[in-house]
Structure 1
């Protein structure tokens, strides 16, 4: 019985720690659009619910790319069609993070991302070049090789988090959050 109580306590602590940033403001992050325009998160998106996908490594970036088309079709493209059954009034951005020794080649990396990204997706891709350790800590990013997704409310407060490659279930969960909170 004592072991069960200790196990439950440790499990509860781990769950609380893994989502410790829920309900907290998204940290200030100065990024750039692929066209070079400065874009500050969350300041540039306040007033509207926002979905932010962040990749911290090359492997995470590949996994992040699995989200591009489904997220575009669900949250961006539907705004433009008259046949959309569910239109979401949300911002959607994907952030590629360049750190460490890659910072030196940051400009070349951004050009490569731009060349490999479809034109219609480019306005929704952001890049960040610089130190990321403090962001990892404040966002509780524990897996370098997985992308993380944060849903922010209109005040920039984190209201939902998921990670990993795209799945229909994860997208449905995000849809539920932005549907009930609009």
Structure 2
């Protein structure tokens, strides 16, 4: 019994991290400013943090990450703070409109434009298309979770996590993105 549980645990860890080392699959998104962004082609050789949500529940959990990601990676650091870093990276928050939700793409985009601060609008990309290819390539299955991918400058996935915000998860992302911190 212990062997079976150990094997299942090892297999689930392997499945969960199967995409680490792979190049992020091609994805085209539209920003709230109507710019088209192609990932990974438009990442310009920078480290990147990509957040994906494809259900109402996952969007709610993704919301728990907004302020921490904004404060950590986008706000200009306080020059008087002892531990404050500025990052040179791409950050994209991507709601995915797939299946029947595709019909709500434009109306939802307009609503989000009204509520998201103008300085954050370039970081929110809307994806409209199929989910199947991404589920397979990125190896996610829980539709009620947001998924996060840290990419190296070549677009390879170097770290993944999912779910609600936690300090531990954010610290792991910060540690992985240390090379993107400016001196």
What TM-score results when the alignment is normalised by the length of structure 1?
0.91
Q: Please point out which of 26, 29, 34 is paired with 1:28.
A: 26
Structure 2 unaligned runs (5+)? none
Structure 1 stretches of at least 4 aligned residues deviating more than 3 Å after TM superposition:
81-84
Structure 1 residues 110-119 or 54-63, which shifts more? 110-119
What TM-score results when the alignment is normalised by the length of structure 2?
0.91
Within 5 Å, which residues of 2 pair with 1:107-122? 107-122=106-121
Structure 1 residues 6-15 or 53-62, which shifts more? 6-15
3-state secondary structure, aligned to 1:20: coil
Show the counterpart of 2:6: 8
* Separation of aligned partners in 1, 2:141 and 2:40: 21
* Separation of aligned partners in 2, 1:8 and 1:180: 35
* Separation of aligned partners in 2, 1:115 and 1:93: 18
Show the counterpart of 1:49: 47
Cα deviation digits, residues 11-56 of structure 1 (max 9, x gap): 2111101110011110000111111111101111141100011101
Number of matched residues?
Answer: 179
Structure 1 unaligned runs (5+)? none
* Separation of aligned partners in 1, 2:148 and 2:65: 10
Cα deviation digits, residues 125-145 of structure 1 (max 9, x gap): 000011111111111111111
